[in-house]
């Protein structure tokens, strides 16, 4: 009888875990790193990737950023995770948990992959990525580009790139017809001020090619992102934590 009950109990756990796996929300954008090759199932690279992904959400700092690696030489995996600068730590960890589960489902056996949600981005690669700008390919959707928006994004680019622990800026500008335009820009904190500015200015040039018939748009690349809309979409940026507190 006990064995039967244990079997039923374990079955319920298995069903619950399967439900968690298949219920991960879809990425807004994803890039499975075509051209970077694939790893072999049950290889050392997969072991290192699984080890790394399992540790990311618990290690993210209070500013929503963490970068790490696992393994050595050809089997080394590098990863970066970043949450939007106005997201609280619990929400950030939940978003990263979704991303780490979803990325291997959407990009099975890919040696490099990136996934974007509204609130976080996850990227891993077999190449070194810490402190290095990657501003392609752009993933975007857009609306018209006007001078008010250009003024807003130039201001936010300067503010975000000059940040230290949180390279994130939000703001608004009055556009045509007295309509308020809301914007946000962000870089991964491992970038220098110059590299962050370069990344943001580069993706701003992608805006005309990303124009679509929509009320707002965004451009995402692995090292930085920007977003604009005609309705508020961001929260107050959390206050910086005292040193040593995450």
- pLDDT tens, residue by residue, 51-84: 999 999 999 998 999 999 999 999 999 999 999 9
Query: Of all helices (H) and strands (E), which one includes residue 180?
Result: strand 180-187
The stretch 139-168 carries a mean pLDDT of 82
In a domain, 159, yes or no: yes
pLDDT at residue 5, as a whole number: 44
62, 92, 125 - which closes a domain: 125
Q: Are 112 and 124 in contact (CB under 8 A)?
A: yes
In a domain, 130, yes or no: no
- Are residues 196 and 156 part of one domain? yes
pLDDT at residue 113, as a whole number: 95
- Are residues 14 and 112 part of one domain? yes
217 three-state secondary structure: strand
Residue 125: burial class (beta carbons within 10 Å; 0-12, 13-18, 19+): buried
The stretch 204-233 carries a mean pLDDT of 78
- Are residues 148 and 120 part of one domain? no
- Are residues 149 and 118 part of one domain? no
In a domain, 243, yes or no: no
Bridge partners, 83 (sequence order):
120
pLDDT at residue 32, as a whole number: 94
Q: Hey, what are 242's tokens?
A: 């005292």
Say yes or no to pLDDT of 144 above 60.
no
The stretch 221-237 carries a mean pLDDT of 89
Least confident window among 41-50, 95-104, 110-119, 134-143: 134-143
| pLDDT bracket for residue 214 (50, 70, 90) | very low
Which residues fall within 8 angstroms of residue 8, CB to CB, at 6 or more apart?
Answer: none
- Are residues 156 and 223 part of one domain? yes
C-alpha distances out from residue 10 to 4, 5, 14, 31, 159, Å: 10, 9, 6, 36, 52
Task: State the Cα–Cα distance between residues 94 and 103, nearest whole angstrom.
Answer: 14
DSSP state of 23: T
In a domain, 98, yes or no: yes
The stretch 30-41 carries a mean pLDDT of 90
Say yes or no to pLDDT of 141 above 60.
no
Task: State the Cα–Cα distance between residues 151 and 171, nearest whole angstrom.
Answer: 11
In a domain, 29, yes or no: yes
In a domain, 85, yes or no: yes
pLDDT at residue 137, as a whole number: 63
- Are residues 150 and 116 part of one domain? no
In a domain, 192, yes or no: yes
- Are residues 81 and 149 part of one domain? no
Q: Hey, what are 84's tokens?
A: 């939007």
What is the number of structural domains in the chain? 2
Edge to edge, what strands does the sheet with 77-83 contain? 29-31, 113-116, 120-125, 77-83, 65-70
- Are residues 114 and 194 part of one domain? no
What's the whole-number average pLDDT of the chain? Answer: 82
- Are residues 215 and 158 part of one domain? yes
| pLDDT bracket for residue 8 (50, 70, 90) | very low
In a domain, 144, yes or no: yes
Say yes or no to pLDDT of 176 above 80.
no
The full length of the chain comes to 246
**185 is in which domain, residue-wise?**
139-229
- Are residues 210 and 121 part of one domain? no
| pLDDT bracket for residue 95 (50, 70, 90) | very high
| Residue 72, domain CATH | 3.30.430.20
């Amino acid at each position: 009888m006990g064995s039967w009950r244990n079997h039923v109990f374990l079955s319920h756990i298995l069903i619950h875990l399967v439900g968690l796996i298949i219920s991960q929300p879809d990425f807004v954008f994803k890039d499975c790193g075509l051209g970077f090759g694939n790893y072999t199932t049950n290889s050392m690279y997969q072991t290192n990737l699984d080890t790394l992904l399992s540790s990311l959400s618990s290690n993210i700092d209070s500013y929503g950023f963490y970068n790490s690696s696992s393994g050595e030489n050809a089997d080394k995996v590098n990863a970066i995770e970043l949450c939007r600068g106005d997201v609280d730590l619990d929400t950030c960890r939940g978003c990263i948990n979704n991303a780490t589960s979803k990325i291997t489902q959407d990009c099975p056996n890919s040696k490099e992959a990136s996934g974007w949600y509204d609130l976080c981005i996850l990227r891993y690669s077999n190449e070194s990525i810490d402190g290095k700008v990657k501003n392609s390919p752009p993933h975007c959707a857009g609306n018209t580009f006007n001078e008010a928006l250009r003024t807003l994004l130039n201001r936010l680019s300067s503010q975000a790139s000059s940040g230290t622990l949180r390279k994130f800026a939000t703001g608004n500008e009055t556009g045509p017809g007295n309509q308020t335009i809301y914007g946000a820009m962000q870089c991964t904190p491992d970038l220098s001020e110059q590299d962050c500015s370069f990344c943001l200015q580069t993706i701003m040039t992608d805006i005309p090619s990303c124009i679509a018939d929509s009320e707002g748009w965004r451009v995402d690349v692995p090292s930085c992102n920007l977003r604009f809309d005609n309705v508020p979409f961001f929260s107050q940026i959390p206050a910086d934590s005292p040193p040593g507190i995450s």
